[in-house]
Structures are given as C-alpha cells and as structure tokens.
Amino acid sequence: MSEYTRKPWIRVGRIDEIPEDQALRLDTTPPVSVFRSDGEFFCVDDTCTHEDFSLADGWVEDGAVECPLHLAKFCLRTGAALATPACRPLATHEVRVDGADVYVRIERGGDDRVDGHCPGAIGSNAGRRDAEGAGHGMA
Ligand code: FES
C-alpha cells in the first residue's frame, strides 16, 4: 500500500550556491541532490540505481547526469535511466525557486520504489530481478 505524507518545502540554499552543471547534495534519508542544468533546477535521489554511488559528483550536461563510477546516465527531469549499466529510474522531487532561494519537497510513498533489476525496461518501473542484478538491487 502506498501512503503519502505531505511534506513541507525544505530550503536548499541560494541559487548562486549551485553553479550551472553542478549539484548540491542534501543529507536527507535517503540523500537527494539538487542539480542545475540549462538554467533549471532538478531534484533526484542522489544514489545511482546501479550501485551505491553519489550522483552529485557526476558529469551534468543537457539535463542529464552521468554517474562517475560506471557511466550510467539519468534524465534529471524524469529520473529515467538513459544509459546502462543502470536501468532503474531515480525518484524525482519537486523543486521551487522563490526569489534567490531554492526549495525542494521530498515525498515518499510506501511502495514507490521498485526492488530488483530491470534490463530492457529502461526508465520504467516495470522491473524484474535476474542473475545479473542479484546483489545490485534494493533488499
Ligand atoms: S554505480 Fe553508477 S553506474 Fe555503476
């Protein structure tokens, strides 16, 4: 069952604290990062869905982030996995710019994350577990 709890907006910082094509990691549980790309701000889960690595250190370009560890790529707007070895999407979160400040709202549902690996289903939640994904997915 999915049960959402409406969360308040969290102030991330000033817009000039997040330079173009960079990110600011927030110490939430799980961690999220706020990215700036093409003048827009995006908030996604910080941990790559391939393995446990921070995307805040990734290469940001044209609304996407590339994981520095194995070069999986994710769309910052939708969270979709755009390049293997990751195939599960990132959770996305609302972002708001108010004056010179950036805010995010992080809401989580009880079953909004898919466990397992999803080869062939890039960017969707239609996951399935396979031998290659064993040990890489969420428990
Ligand atoms: S940990 Fe990100 S691609 Fe492997």
Nearest to 123 by CA among 54, 76, 60, 56: 76
Report pLDDT for 29: 87
For residue 81, CA distances in Å to 76, 104, 105 come to 10, 22, 22
Question: Which residue, judged by its Cα, is nearest atom 1 of ligand 1?
Answer: 51
- pLDDT at residue number 7: 80
Pairwise CA distance, residues 107 & 120, whole Å: 28
- Sequence-distant (6+) residues with CB within 8 A of 107 are 4, 5, 6, 7, 93, 94
Q: Is the CB of 70 under 6 A from ligand 1?
A: yes
Least confident of 17-21, 33-37, 109-113: 109-113
Domain range 10-105, CATH class: mainly beta
pLDDT in tens, 116-132: 344 433 333 322 223 23
Residues 6+ apart with CB under 8 A from 116: 127, 128, 129, 133, 137, 138
At 71-87, the pLDDT tens digits run 999 999 999 999 999 99
CB of 85 closer than 6 angstroms to any ligand 1 atom: yes
C-beta of 55 in contact with ligand 1 (< 6 A): no
Mean pLDDT for 22-30 is 93
Could you give the strand order of the β-sheet that contains 32-37, starting from the edge strand earlier in sequence?
Answer: 10-14, 101-105, 92-98, 40-45, 32-37, 22-26
Residue 54 is classified by DSSP as: B
Cα(99)–Cα(105) distance, integer angstroms: 17
User: Is the per-residue pLDDT at 133 higher than 80?
Assistant: no
Ligand 1, pocket-test mutation among 69, 84, 117, 132, most atoms within 8 A of CB: 69
Mean pLDDT estimate for the chain: 80
